Amino acid sequence: MPTGNEPLQSVQVIRYLPSTGQITGAVTCAPAISHNMAIDDEAYVIVEDVAPLPLPDTTHYVQGGKLVRKTACPAVLDGYVLRELPVPCRVSVDMTTYACEDDTAAIEIDQPGTYTITVRAVPHLDGVFALTV
């Protein structure tokens, strides 16, 4: 029966982009070799108290050297206009992605059909909307 004093069996070394906190990779390893798992010139944090993250991780980011759960995307789709966009963000219409530096974006589609609109911005979960034309 565990006593709570056992040494850690494994840790995660999580690599991320310092500018956004976006997680770019992770490896689970023994604590004694965790610093050897980091790649030169990449920021990393060693996490001891979470289950291994599925990759690509879409639910967490790194802030202040700590793993943080992402918050809900604030964007709303109002007809053909995305409002309350996080700045900056990326907006995808089906498979085409656009950089967005404004808090609103007009969606211009003239072909009938249903389109998937995705808003991506750290530290938020992806916002996903369906637009039928």
Give tens-digit pLDDT for 99-114.
999 999 999 998 999 9
Please state the rounded mean pLDDT for residues 86-105: 96
DSSP assignment letter at 2: -
Half-sphere exposure of 65 (CA within 13 A, CB side): 1
Same domain? For 36 and 18 the reply is yes
Domain limits at 37?
Answer: 11-69
Same domain? For 90 and 123 the reply is yes
Complete DSSP assignment for 81-116 = EEES--SSEEEEETTEEEEE-SS-EE----S-SEEE
Q: Which residues contact 108 (CB under 8 A, 6 or more apart)?
A: 80
Q: State the total domains in the chain.
A: 2
Of residues 1 and 114, more confidence is placed in 114
Is this model's pTM higher than 0.85 or not?
A: no
Asked if residue 102 is part of any domain, the answer here is yes
As a whole number of angstroms, the distance between CA 111 and CA 34 comes to: 52
Q: Please identify, among 22, 40, 69, the residue that sits at the C-terminal boundary of a domain.
A: 69
Res 98 pLDDT > 60: yes
